[in-house]
Amino acid sequence: MRVGIIGGGQLGRMLVQAGADLGIACTTLDPNADSPAARVGPAIVGAYDDADALASLAAEADVVTYEFENVPVAGVRALAERVPVHPGPASLEAGQDRLAEKHLFTEVGLPVPLYAEVEDLASLPEAIEAVGLPAVLKSRRLGYDGKGQVVIADAALAEDAWRRIGEVPALLEALVPFDQEVSILSVRGRDGEIRSWPLVENEHEEGILRRSFAPARGAEPPVQAAAEAHARAILERLDHVGVLAIELFRVGEELFGNEMAPRVHNSGHWTIEGAETSQFENHLRAICGLPLGETTVAGHAAMVNLIGGVPEAAEVLRLPGAHLHLYGKRPLPRRKVGHVTLRGDDPRSLWAKVLQVSELAADA
């Protein structure tokens, strides 16, 4: 099989690496000639909406996928006339617009925080009246890693928040007093088979994922079952093929939908060494029509993102169960330049190692 991947970032890079182990030849498309994925496999340099570049990718692929959800939908629809694209355009459209996500979640029975649409500055006071404060103002599109999001605690600061998100269509969403931020990663094959990994506990700082832990502490079997049921409903509604990540707020045993990503996801990086089958391998298995792999975890696993700098490799690798993954990216503030996965037999000892790596990363 030959797989074309739109996007050459670290997710594309890890898909290429997983493909090599399966004998699947992957080619990426990215505007950057020195993208992380281009360092490990064949790459086409071009814009995501460049018709010639997309045609070149289609010529090199039996199936096409994407590593991020802000790919122009029109280009993907045109590409799908030449070669199968998984996940399909419906998943891509839903994952690009926070309002579309909210509608989808509601349709399948996944509760969402109270929210109101904000089309312009004039409609913001009405949204504040409906939702209350404090609340978070989120741009409907192009928001990730905390971008396009501003917390409003005082109505007097609403206009400033509107300017800070770029004065674009948005949602005002009530802040949820959650017990945990968690995510459910699931994969659906071409034949409709679905498998899910254990719920992942996530810790964010300044809107950026810093640490993930699986299985999520305190997530009892009924919560896992509820998350899997919501994921199944969304996967089937979209006829989604491949990995899907859904970010959730856990309040006791209740789950509220936050956002979704129709692709492999940062909170699933721990699966590379921590699960029977990684999210990257299972995504490729799914889109290529191969049998899905087991998603079980041996003991406990964690992931620490390396943001803005890389610690000394020897300091990380001397920790038992630690695995270093670097993306070949120039260190910059707030940029994800790598991650460390960790494994352990029990949550307490594993979390101690997570804190050690976090301290090393902070000093880098």
Which CATH code is given to the segment(s) 2-85?
3.40.50.20
Domain ranges (residues) in the chain? 2-85, 114-174, 180-363
The token pair at 345 is: 């037999």
Quickly name the fold that domain 114-174 has: Dna Ligase; domain 1 (3.30.1490)
In the prediction, which pLDDT does 241 show?
98
252 neighbors 236 (Cβ within 8 angstroms): no
Distance between CA atoms of 37 and 345, rounded to whole angstroms?
33
**Within its chain, how far is the Cα of 360 from the centroid?**
24
Q: Residue 290 burial by CB count (10 A; 0-12/13-18/19+): exposed, middle or buried?
A: middle
What stretch of H or E contains 333?
Answer: none
Beta strands in 78-179 (DSSP E): 115-118, 135-139, 149-152, 170-174
Distance between CA atoms of 293 and 283, rounded to whole angstroms?
10
pLDDT tens column, 217-248 = 988 999 999 999 999 999 999 999 999 999 99
Distance between CA atoms of 27 and 299, rounded to whole angstroms?
35
Residue 36 has pLDDT above 70, yes or no: yes
Distance between CA atoms of 213 and 342, rounded to whole angstroms?
9
pLDDT tens column, 171-207 = 999 999 999 999 999 999 999 999 999 999 999 998 8
Quickly name the fold that domain 180-363 has: D-amino Acid Aminotransferase; Chain A, domain 1 (3.30.470)
